[in-house]
Chain A
Amino acid sequence: MTAFRRLIGFNLLTAVVLGIGGWYLGWFIGHQITGKSLDFFGEIDQNDISIFLGYFMGVIAFLLGLGFGVYPWARMRGYPPSLREKETAGIGRYFTLCTDHKVVGIQYLWGIGLFFFVGGLNAMFIRAELLSPTNHIFPPGQYLTLVGMHGTMMMGMMTSGILGPFANYVVPLMIGARRMAFPRIEALTFWLLMAAGTILVTTILFGGFPTGWTGYEPLNDQANGGMDAYIAFFALVGISMTLLGLNLMATIITMRAPGLTWSRLPIFCWGVVSTAILMVLAAPVLVAVLSMAMLDRTGQTSFFIASAGGSPYLYENLFWIFGHPEVYILALPGFGIVLELLPVFSRKPLWGYRLAVAGLMGVTLLSWLVWQHHLFVSGINSDLRPFYMLSTELISIPTGFTFLCGLMTIWRGQLRFTVPMLFCLAWFFNFLIGGLSGVFLSDTPSDVTTHGSFFSMAHFHYTIMGGLVFTFFAAIYYWVPKMFGVELNELLGKIHFWLMFIAFNSTFGPLFAVGFLGQPRRVVSYPSHLQFLNDWVSVSAFVLGFSMLIFLANLVYCLVFARVPAPANPWASLSLEFQLPSPVPVHNFERVPVFTGDPYGYGEAAPPVGVPAPSPAGGMS
């Protein structure tokens, strides 16, 4: 196809143009329904039906512009389910609907990376505001929107932060499959997430939203038009998450190569399975509760309005029934990454494989039983508090299994402190602090003071950022040579790591004290005697942000300019994806391998895990 022909076909450009058109169409229809005056510019009257319809039709048009309508249209007319989209070569396919799981993985990496930086920038603004005990840069409304956007963007995007880029890329390679179970759905999850992120950013056009990432009612219902962006964003993220989990589960269940029994499955895949279970079950609850919020805002229902027969507690309960499994969706992939990488860099098998799996599954199961620890002082029925205290404390047992297996894997190893290994080791330190601080929060008497304070904030940043984001970077440094065929600079990587680790602890460590000293969350002003601590935290946060720039410089320089070719197996890993050339060919395997063991045979006189099926022409090297 000529370049011009590709430009006007199904691709991102077409999608964006159609998406904007779709938005205006929905906006127009909404105004027809409500009969309000149509005024595209300088819109004063808030019209939530128009906004929601605009987002809805914009997303549909966006997806149609990418070509997601081609397959349903063909199926409607009776054509059979087909694996094939019109595939192109070259860099253009990263901006289209591509059914190659490796392309989708790389798309996710860039897409989530972009929104991660947007969320991180918001955090820098927040900390700049908190340099002073009273508001001095942003008016309170804008500050709250920054807080909300930071949290919402991070939670929505980083939920798929490891599964999106890495599970999509690596899982089929680890299980000996050539594709995922549902390649088109895989592409859909990515583009839905991108549409969602764009929608969240448009909140600033409608005045932002005041509720923070939790979107509590009835403040949610009171808020002006920018709130709709939050609801639409999170609902789309919920749909994307459900489909992502479904696809990964189906792939691991049905498409394992011969010989790959569940007890030989790499622990990273077990991490993916446990996360996918939670995604498939918890994300629909999010979509449901946000739909209720949308109905309250548009259809004047009263799900959450106490004076009209509803209850804010319904929102709190439903939100946290989703919300607690959600934070384990964030944490579990990190467990999987750490346990997967430690054997490679300790040169020892994973210690306690079955215990590690039990730990992952135990967390998955227990995460459903703890949600009311977010509601200890909310005024709901207090009879159940001892139960929820117990269930929350119990979750530290399976989490502890992960610690034990990781620590014992290191023990007596031949440790090599590569950049991925450093990030994994930092995970232990960070998650230890995060986990122990969780013990305080799970204990109701202690929680009375720490709930809603910066202590809680420090806790979840230690577990989510110290846990997930550190392993996100471990995964990047580990798999980028495979994904792009290019090496990342080790010195810059180490500088990034140390700066990030020190700055991270310097940022969030003092926040435990800030919370203990009485500063609530999401406030733009605080008692002046806390200014020193806040300033220390803010400066550390700026250094943390700077460390991200170092990473970015490393990434761009190495991928675009230096382009040092990476060996196929830079880490001498026994894992199957590293037995393939870099970058991996489209169809992954010349011949589907037969598995004879797990990929942790370090120090054992065992054959490599994926032996190609005997073939006359010779197999894969």
Chain B
Amino acid sequence: MSDIAATDYSIVEEEPPELLARNLRTASHLLASATAFFFLAFVFGYFYLRSLNNAGLWHPKSVSASQAYGAVVMALTVASAFLVRLGLFDHRRGRRPQWRVKGGAALAAGLAAIVLQIVEWTQIGFGPADGGYASIFYGWTAFQVLFAVGALFWLENILATSLRYGKIASGAPAPGEASGDPHRTAHDIRDPLSLVRAGLEAVSFYWAFLAGLAVLAWIILYLI
């Protein structure tokens, strides 16, 4: 373990500019696969416990989830993902201010969905201890919220970067202007548009995927 000098960034950061986009796209797909398998456990649990109905306590009569809340939470989540996608289309066409508006609206809609879900838990009239369905319901929706928080945090990061670069029309900012670090002159910072785009593509995919899982949750937990 000899002494190694600090990284010489003049050598290291000559990376192809599209590398970030490739990495983020791959990561968002892998993350989506991992998320899918995570929630698959709850899907499995739902159908398995329902088929067993041990002690007749799968879904006691007193347990009834509110259709209104469920539909609104799902609709807000889907709307949020839809808005992000529309914002992505705007960004692809260079309409950056419109993307920022849609991004902000998407963030608001997503947060509203989370808040409403939390409210639902307090209003719903049954608790996690009320049988198999109740357990799956609370567990599943709790993790929907957790993953949504993560995805919205990611979205907020992209939005914040976009706002920070809002004044820069295109092309190269002065060294250090974008990052606050005068020694950073990497490709990715030279071209802020590619930066936001890469992240936006990835988060749009992942948030749309999560919204799809939210629809699945709504169908399984509320509809059938």
Binding site for B on A (CB under 8 A): 72, 75-84, 87-91, 94, 100, 106, 178-179, 181-182, 242, 245-246, 249-250, 253-255, 280-285, 287-289, 291-292, 295-296, 299-303, 306-311, 313-314, 317-318, 321, 484-485, 583, 585-587, 590
Q: Which of B9-27 contact A (CB under 8 A)?
A: 9, 11-13, 15, 19-20, 22-23, 26-27
Cross-chain contact of B135 among A88, A106, A246, A302 (Cβ < 8 A)? A302
Question: By the criterion CB–CB under 8 Å, are A80 and B188 in contact?
Answer: yes
Question: By the criterion CB–CB under 8 Å, are B143 and A299 in contact?
Answer: no
* CB nearest to B9 among chain A residues: A84
Question: By the criterion CB–CB under 8 Å, are B2 and A587 in contact?
Answer: no
How far is B49's CA from A317's CA once the two chains are assembled, in angstroms?
A: 12
Provide a sorted-by-A list of 18 A–B residue pairs whose CB atoms are within 8 angstroms.
Answer: A75-B161, A77-B160, A79-B161, A81-B199, A84-B184, A89-B6, A178-B15, A181-B23, A181-B27, A246-B34, A284-B35, A306-B55, A307-B54, A308-B129, A309-B131, A313-B48, A484-B1, A587-B12
Q: What's the minimum C-beta distance from B103 to chain A, rounded to whole angstroms? A: 12
> Across chains A and B, which 9 residue pairs bring their CB atoms closest together, nearest first?
A309-B57, A78-B160, A78-B164, A309-B132, A288-B41, A301-B135, A284-B38, A309-B131, A300-B129
B residues near A299, Cβ cutoff 8 Å: 128-129, 138
Cross-chain contact of A300 among B7, B33, B128 (Cβ < 8 A)? B128
How far is B181's CA from A83's CA once the two chains are assembled, in angstroms?
A: 12
Question: By the criterion CB–CB under 8 Å, are B4 and A89 in contact?
Answer: yes
Question: By the criterion CB–CB under 8 Å, are B37 and A284 in contact?
Answer: yes
How far is B181's CA from A284's CA once the two chains are assembled, in angstroms?
A: 37
Q: What's the minimum C-beta distance from B143 to chain A, rounded to whole angstroms? A: 7
How would you classify the secondary structure of chain B's contact residues: helix, strand, loop or mixed? helix
How far is B149's CA from A137's CA once the two chains are assembled, in angstroms?
A: 50
Q: What's the minimum C-beta distance from B62 to chain A, rounded to whole angstroms? A: 13
Question: By the criterion CB–CB under 8 Å, are B37 and A285 in contact?
Answer: yes
Q: Which of B30-50 contact A (CB under 8 A)?
A: 30-31, 33-35, 37-42, 44-45, 48-49
A246-B34, A300-B129, A583-B1 as given contacts; A306 in contact with B54, CB under 8 Å: yes
* CB nearest to A583 among chain B residues: B2
Question: By the criterion CB–CB under 8 Å, are A178 and B199 in contact?
Answer: no
B residues near A79, Cβ cutoff 8 Å: 161, 164, 179-180
B residues near A77, Cβ cutoff 8 Å: 160, 164
How far is B33's CA from A590's CA once the two chains are assembled, in angstroms?
A: 36
Confirm or deny: B169 has a beta carbon within 8 angstroms of a beta carbon on chain A.
no
A residues near B87, Cβ cutoff 8 Å: none
Confirm or deny: B157 has a beta carbon within 8 angstroms of a beta carbon on chain A.
yes
Question: By the criterion CB–CB under 8 Å, are A308 and B55 in contact?
Answer: yes
Question: By the criterion CB–CB under 8 Å, are A309 and B139 in contact?
Answer: no
How far is B3's CA from A94's CA once the two chains are assembled, in angstroms?
A: 12
Cross-chain contact of B131 among A253, A302, A586 (Cβ < 8 A)? A302
How far is B131's CA from A257's CA once the two chains are assembled, in angstroms?
A: 55
Q: 17 more A-B contacts (CB under 8 A) besides A285-B37, A303-B135? A: A78-B161, A80-B178, A81-B199, A87-B6, A89-B3, A94-B1, A178-B12, A249-B26, A255-B23, A281-B37, A285-B38, A292-B41, A292-B135, A303-B132, A308-B129, A317-B48, A321-B41
Confirm or deny: B195 has a beta carbon within 8 angstroms of a beta carbon on chain A.
yes
Question: Which of A76, A254, A289, A586 has the most chain B CB atoms closer than 10 A to its own CB?
Answer: A254
Confirm or deny: B213 has a beta carbon within 8 angstroms of a beta carbon on chain A.
no
Q: What's the minimum C-beta distance from B16 to chain A, rounded to whole angstroms? A: 10
